């Protein structure tokens, strides 16, 4: 049991993500968010002035990167514990981050499932490293993925069935969109699965070119029926009623598409993967509630048909007070979130 309030500084340059983390922390009376910072120099000044007990620190910060910030903070505020929360997953980056004297590392896409466990471990004096770590093991780092909150701290509750894969990618420009979607589609096709892409015309065209550049036999998978491309706006028109997705229509439309796609898979027990931007299109049109309802319906589909789903949202569309709230809602409806 924690005996005193834990004073926390949250540092991240993406306001919606920072707001989501702060909201998670404020659900627990043991934590007090005393300040937020959006760049490295501001974080250094806040830490110097406030001497927080714990600092949640991103790596990719303006003005001064998080690793250098950590080095300087621990000279100015040596009693502060630092927990990195970053999208970086390479072993080299994790090792460099922890070599600063930081106490832990959480990958952003796993923050909903790992943050509370990480906080509990760090505050007990343990080191916590979690998330997908690319390129191998961390032999010099104590791995603790089973730590759980003790005393008054409860682990954060996951949304829905953890076995489902309904992920969201927040992208800063089309290059990142295409990189994430082409990786998702390419991996699915390589596994023998069928892929449905529901996107805008420009994204569908660009995705085909990107896949071809990556060595995918685009013509072949289209002829086999294992690559199905649909227009996002036209697909929405088949189940939207009075500005909201009609559950009965949606489940019928999506179910028929998935069952039809499953027949084209070239191996037994092959799966269907779907990626697109139907809900993101609704959000871009100012229909936030419709977008959230549609994500919930996709959760039902993911569970019922055991399919993998990837949604793509432009980060630029969340840069407002309403956007920050919707960002948190969107993250809550997915099994993992990525940003780039």
- Cα(first)–Cα(last) distance of the chain, in Å? 37
Domain-ending residue, one of 129, 154, 177: 129
**3 state DSSP class of 174:** helix
Based on the domain organization, do 242 and 196 belong to the same domain?
yes
Distance (Å, whole) CA 291 – CA 295: 6
Based on the domain organization, do 268 and 323 belong to the same domain?
yes
Domain-ending residue, one of 129, 144, 178: 129
Residue 18 lies in a domain: yes
**Residues spanned by the domain of 118:** 6-129
What confidence score (pLDDT) does residue 195 get? 96
16-58 confidence digits (pLDDT tens)? 889 889 988 988 888 999 999 999 999 999 999 999 999 999 9
What confidence score (pLDDT) does residue 136 get? 43
What confidence score (pLDDT) does residue 144 get? 35
Based on the domain organization, do 202 and 316 belong to the same domain?
yes
Based on the domain organization, do 176 and 320 belong to the same domain?
yes
Based on the domain organization, do 172 and 319 belong to the same domain?
yes
Based on the domain organization, do 18 and 104 belong to the same domain?
yes
Distance (Å, whole) CA 181 – CA 164: 18
Angle at CA of residue 49, ends 48 and 54, nearest 5°: 65
Based on the domain organization, do 285 and 185 belong to the same domain?
yes
Residue 156 lies in a domain: no
CATH of the domain at 295: 3.40.50.300
Domain-ending residue, one of 129, 149, 182: 129
Distance (Å, whole) CA 272 – CA 286: 30
- Give kind and range of the element (H or E) at residue 70: helix 66-76
Based on the domain organization, do 79 and 178 belong to the same domain?
no
Residues of the chain with pLDDT under 50: 1-2, 131-163
What confidence score (pLDDT) does residue 130 get? 65
Distance (Å, whole) CA 340 – CA 334: 17
Contacts (Cβ under 8 Å, ≥6 apart) of 120: 147, 148, 149, 150, 153
Based on the domain organization, do 244 and 116 belong to the same domain?
no
295-298: long-range contacts at Cβ-Cβ below 8 A with a sequence spacing of 24 or more? 295/166, 295/330, 295/333, 295/334, 296/333, 297/245, 297/247, 297/250, 297/251, 297/254, 298/166, 298/254, 298/333
Residue 158 lies in a domain: no
Distance (Å, whole) CA 131 – CA 86: 10
Residue 151 lies in a domain: no
Based on the domain organization, do 222 and 299 belong to the same domain?
yes
Closest to 51 (Cα-Cα) out of 28, 22, 31, 73: 73
Say how many domains are in the chain.
2
Give the other-Cβ count within 10 Å of 23's Cβ: 13
Q: Where do the DSSP E strands lie in 40-119?
A: 54-57, 81-86, 104-107
Residue 209 lies in a domain: yes
User: Model-level pTM greater than 0.85?
Assistant: no
Based on the domain organization, do 98 and 172 belong to the same domain?
no
Residue 72 lies in a domain: yes
Count Cβ atoms within 10 A of the Cβ of residue 321 and give its class: 0-12 exposed, 13-18 middle, 19 or more buried: exposed
Residue 148 lies in a domain: no
What confidence score (pLDDT) does residue 133 get? 47
CATH of the domain at 24: 3.40.50.2300
What confidence score (pLDDT) does residue 139 get? 36
Based on the domain organization, do 266 and 334 belong to the same domain?
yes
b/e map 266-298, b = 16+ CB within 10 Å: eeeebbbbbbbbbbbbbbeeebbebbbbbbebb
8 A C-beta contact, residue 286 and residue 326 = no
Residue 149 lies in a domain: no
């Amino acid at each position: 049991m924690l005996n005193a309030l834990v004073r926390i500084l949250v540092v991240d340059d993406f306001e919606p993500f920072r707001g989501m983390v702060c909201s998670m922390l404020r659900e627990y009376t043991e934590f007090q968010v005393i300040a937020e910072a959006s760049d490295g120099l501001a974080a250094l000044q806040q830490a110097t002035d406030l001497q927080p007990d714990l600092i949640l620190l991103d790596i990719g910060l303006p003005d001064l990167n998080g690793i250098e910030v950590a080095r300087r903070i621990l000279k100015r505020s040596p009693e502060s514990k630092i927990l990195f929360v970053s999208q970086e997953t390479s072993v080299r980056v994790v090792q460099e981050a922890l070599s600063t004297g930081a106490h832990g590392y959480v990958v952003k896409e796993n923050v909903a499932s790992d943050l509370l466990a990480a906080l509990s471990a760090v505050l007990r004096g343990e080191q916590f490293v979690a998330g997908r770590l690319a390129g191998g093991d961390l032999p010099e780092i104590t791995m603790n993925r089973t730590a759980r909150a003790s005393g008054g701290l409860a682990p954060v509750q996951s949304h829905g069935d953890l076995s489902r894969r309904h992920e969201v990618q927040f992208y800063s420009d089309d290059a990142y969109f295409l990189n994430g979607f082409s990786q998702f589609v390419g991996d699915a096709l390589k596994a023998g699965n069928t892929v449905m892409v529901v996107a805008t015309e420009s994204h569908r065209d660009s995705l085909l070119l990107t896949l071809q550049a990556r060595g995918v036999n685009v013509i072949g998978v289209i002829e086999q029926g294992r690559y199905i491309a649909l227009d996002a706006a036209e697909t929405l028109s088949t189940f939207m009623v009075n500005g909201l997705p009609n559950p009965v229509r949606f489940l019928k439309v999506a179910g028929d598409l998935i069952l039809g796609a499953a027949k084209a898979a070239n191996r037994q027990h092959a799966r269907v993967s779907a990626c697109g931007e139907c809900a993101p299109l609704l959000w871009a049109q100012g229909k936030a509630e419709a977008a959230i309802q549609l994500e919930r319906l996709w959760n039902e589909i993911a569970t019922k048909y055991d399919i993998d789903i990837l949604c793509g949202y432009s980060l630029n569309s969340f840069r407002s007070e309403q956007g920050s709230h919707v960002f948190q809602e969107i993250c809550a409806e997915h099994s993992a979130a990525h940003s780039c």
